[in-house]
Amino acid sequence: MKFDTPAIANPIDKLKVIGQPTDRIDGKFKTTGTAPYAYERHDVAPGQAYGFIVGSAIAKGRVDTIDLKDARAAPGVVDILTTLDMPPLPLGPMNFANLFGGPDIQHYHQAIAIVVAESFEQARAAAALVKVDYVRSDGRFDLAAEASNAKPADERSGIKRVGDFESAFAAAPVKIDAHYTTPDETHAMMEPHASIASWAGDKLTLWTSNQMIAWSKGAIAKMLNLAPENVRLDSPYIGGGFGGKLFIRSDAVLAALAAKAVARPVKVALSRPLMANNTTHRPATRQRIRIGCSPEGKITAIAHESLSGNLPGGSPEPATQQTELLYAGENRLTALNLATLDLPEGHAMRAPGEAPGLMALEIAIDEMAEKLGMDPVQFRILNDTQVDPANPQRRFSQRQLVECLGTGAEKFGWDRRNAKPAAVRDGRWLVGMGVAAGFRNNLLTRSAARVRLDAQGIVTVETDMTDIGTGSYTIIAQTAAEMMGITLDQVVVKLGDSDFPASAGSGGQWGANNATAGVYAACVKLREAVAQQLGFNATDAQFSNGQVRSGNRTAQLADAARNGELVAEDFIEYGNLDKQYQQSTFAGHFVEVAVDGFTGETRIRRMLAVCAAGRILNPKAARSQVIGAMTMGVGAALMEELAVDKRFGFFVNHDLASYEVPVHADIPHQEVIFLDEVDPISSPMKAKGVGELGLCGVGAAVANAIYNATGVRVRDYPITLDKHLDRLPQPV
């Protein structure tokens, strides 16, 4: 199905099933332990052995020798495969760090060996006996030290100009010029990267934990020199990813290589330290923001420059992308600069770009509002735009940022905020409120599905779409039920298998809208097949309550399959509507904090997110996504930071004991409001996405609340107590 004109009224608009706050249909499996994750697929292949990966103890250099004598003699060892046994594997399309093969070391904990044994404990113990001699080289591990060597990212995403920023900024009566930093962060999902590999001749099956099945099937085929039809991936349940499982990692590659070597299935799970140093992370940024305004508060010039680092061939953290679209202003400059670092691969993490970019931009907006003597909500509203600032002929398909901010201010009690910093006390606590805008683009990508109708009236949906804890099973079932006029218990959803049609996959908050649109397209074909089988006119057939009506005739849906199962397959692909209209999602984030006047500790008191993100397919699941993202934003604001050992080039706090994330006690009260919005420009579902919007802007809202509470402006995340303790106002 080609979607190249705005959606008109369609069966989804009935909202009998879609749009309802439906419990997740996989919830009962998750809560009873009957949803098997990748490492728990004990039944899929008999005789599984256990693999344990040995990571490099240096960050830069090469492996000279590997002594396996003691390791091979350890109890239970089946075999050991080392990086010196083969040349470097080809890179996958989305990888730029070598996953295995050859002596060269690009980063700390790069996989250099896998020990295969009869038990996990035996494999781990033997791995500790592997002796490696290295030749260490000097590496680049300090982003600040490499700033002078950084270069514009590339012509497409490097420097972008609209108007004459320098002249407009120089002439602006009111201006700010400030620097901000965000640290390296890790995904810290609960389920580790894990895979079970099994070969049948030249055919490889991987039961793995992966967000993007079609991408990763192609990557594995390329790396292992296999025909794509000889590769199968299966990921029905995924315990979180946040972008860390978008691409193939060493668990899948080494499980496959080891299984081939020992001629039996092998299962591999990355240890927590390897998840931080062997896979990917969100790169640190150093950002500069300059804003010039008229005395009345109109932005006349805005510039946002960001520096990040990565391995050779890597890409920058796109921290400036929201600044191109969020606020008005005729004269604009954005620039991405990239330094070469020898740290582990920097790549996508939830809301790549916007998350760290808004952490800086939305503090700068608050700083400018204060300099102007304006309320920060009103300053944002004043500088709203309904068109792309770089192309005023290109309007937003839907843009309710003003409504998000206005509704949020009213619901949160913003009028009770004391604009004077450090003016509100509650005993020993300094109390403040903060606001920030949230922004995330709506991304469109082809997505396919197959639907089946059997003689019992059961509709089965098959698509390689994944559920990473987001509720994909449920919204896909809701879509099929709405389209075919049946109840949820009459829908079976099968996900995550590369033998199914290739979907959008889970990432970038594009999964829900695109995957359900693909199911919609397949259901349109199935409806046509049903009508034809029943002898009905497909154009006026109505599907409701398990029946099909056309004119004065009615039949049971199941009757269409009485002579055999009906199968339909289709995909959604998009025309150029996204070129004609800017498609984005918006939020207003409001936070109240309390800062201990004696210790400097920050406590979140309450949070509110008001979101405008197209049709909300399942308000219950969407709310869960947003409050989870808000919690992640608190972590980024207050505690999350990968500490870099700048001597030896690794992330020191590579476990959940020392890499701190929020717990329930840190998040006492959260509220989410979804504005009534449908976007016919986006898809037949008229939806967008919320999974990353809920994160975008939260960190700055926390930072702005801390400033309002204390009068101390901290521009370097995370805002730990040591960064403002010596500047706090004296307790009274």
112 vs 367: CA distance, rounded Å? 49
Determine the Cα–Cα distance for residues 146 and 141; give it in Å rounded to an integer.
Answer: 8
Residue 157 has what pLDDT? 57
Give the residue from 721, 697, 713 showing the smallest Cα distance to 595. Answer: 721
Query: Quick one: three-class SS letters along 18-29?
Result: CCCCCCCCCHHH
3-state secondary structure 346-394: ECCCCCCCHHHHHHHHHHHHHHHHHHHCCCHHHHHHHCCCCEECCEEEE
Q: Which of 515, 547, 577 is a domain's end point?
A: 577
Q: Are 715 and 606 found together in one domain?
A: yes
Q: Residues 406, 380: contact at Cβ < 8 Å?
A: no
Q: Could you say which DSSP state residue 147 is in?
A: G
- Asked about 565 being catalytic, the answer comes back as no
* Residues 18 and 42 occupy one common structural domain: no
Which of 356, 344, 352 has the alpha carbon at shortest distance from 141? 344
Within this chain, do residues 614 and 476 fall inside the same structural domain, yes or no?
Answer: no
CA dist., res. 719 & res. 508, Å (int): 26
CA distance 56 to 274: 10
Query: 644-645 and 299-310: which strand pairing?
Result: unpaired
On whether both 126 and 255 belong to a single domain, the answer is yes
Domain boundary, last residue among 274, 290, 315: 274
Report yes or no on 658 lying in a domain.
yes
Q: Which of 219, 253, 274 corresponds to the end of one domain?
A: 274
Round to whole Å and give the CA distance between 199 and 212.
21
**Residue at 639 is within a domain:** yes
Buried b (16+ CB within 10 A) or exposed e, 231-244: bbbbbbbbbbbbbb
- The answer to whether residues 407 and 527 belong to one domain is no
CATH number at residue 483: 3.30.365.10
The pLDDT value recorded for residue 153 is: 87
CA distance 208 to 239: 11
- Same-domain pairing of 500 and 634: no
185, 345, 482, 692: the catalytic one is: 692
Token duo for residue 486 = 């049946």
- Residue 10 shares a structural domain with residue 133: no
Please state the separation of Cα 704 from the chain's center in Å: 24
Q: What is the mean pLDDT of each run of 10 residues along the chain (732 residues)?
A: 98 98 96 96 97 98 98 98 98 94 98 98 98 98 97 77 98 98 97 98 98 98 98 97 97 98 98 97 98 98 98 96 98 97 98 98 98 98 98 97 98 98 97 98 98 98 97 98 98 98 97 98 98 94 97 96 97 96 98 97 98 98 98 98 98 96 95 98 97 98 98 98 94 70
- How far is it, in rounded angstroms, from Cα 123 to Cα 686? 51
Dihedral (CA of 268, 273, 274, 275) sign: positive
Note the pLDDT of residue 731.
72
Provide DSSP, 458-474.
-EEEEE----SSS-HHH
Whether 650 and 541 share a structural domain: no
At residue 456, what is the residue type? Q
Classify residue 654: in a domain, yes or no.
yes
Round to whole Å and give the CA distance between 503 and 449. Answer: 7
Of the candidates 367, 422, 419, which has an alpha carbon nearest to the alpha carbon of residue 710?
Answer: 422
Assigned token pair, 593 = 């904090």
Strands 299-310 and 331-340: parallel
Q: Which amino acid is at 283?
A: P
d(CA 636, CA 630): 10
Look at residue 242 in the predicted model and tell me its pLDDT: 97
Could you tell me the CA-to-CA distances from 239 to 268, 325, 391, 468, 480 in Å, in that order?
A: 16, 33, 41, 6, 25
| Torsion angle, alpha carbons of 711, 715, 720, 726, to 10 | -50
What distances in angstroms separate CA 261 from CA 30, 256, 264, 428, one per listed residue?
A: 34, 9, 8, 64
Task: Please give the pLDDT value at position 730.
Answer: 83
> Which residue blocks in 500-558 are alpha helix, DSSP H?
511-534
Pairing of strands 111-117, 49-55: antiparallel
SS3 (DSSP) at 479: helix
Q: Are 21 and 620 in contact (CB under 8 A)?
A: yes
Structure tokens at 127: 């791995």
Query: Is 186 among the domain residues?
Result: no
Which domain, by its residues, includes 613?
391-440+583-727
Upper half-sphere CA count for residue 290 (Cβ side, 13 Å): 17
Domain count for the chain, please give it: 3
Query: Same structural domain for residues 18 and 71?
Result: no
Whole-Å CA distances, 109 to 58, 188, 274: 7, 17, 6
Judge whether 294 lies within some domain.
Answer: no
Query: Cβ distance 624 to 646 under 8 Å?
Result: no
Sign of the four-CA dihedral 294, 299, 303, 308: positive
Amino acid at 304: H
Residues 463 and 570 in one domain: yes
Same domain, residue pair 203 and 66: yes
**DSSP count for the chain of H helices, then E strands:** 15, 35
Q: Is residue 653 part of a domain?
A: yes
CA Rg, the chain, in Å? 27
**CA-closest candidate to residue 610, choices 671, 523, 683, 699:** 671
Phi, psi (5° rounding) for residue 203?
-100, 130
Taking a C-beta distance cutoff of 8 angstroms, is the pair 342, 374 a contact? no
Going by their DSSP bridges, the two strands 650-651 and 670-674 should be labelled as: unpaired
- Classify residue 167: in a domain, yes or no: no
Beta pairing partners, 234: 207, 497
How far is C-alpha 18 from the geometric centre of its chain's CA atoms? 24
- 631 plus 716 within the same structural domain: yes
Asked if the structure places residue 450 within a domain, the reply is: yes
| 8 A C-beta contact, residue 496 and residue 235 | yes
How many residues can be counted in the chain? 732
pLDDT at 63: 98
Partners of 303 in the β-ladder: 290, 333
Amino acid in the structure at residue 311: L
| Phi, psi dihedral angles at 304 (to 5 degrees) | -140, 115
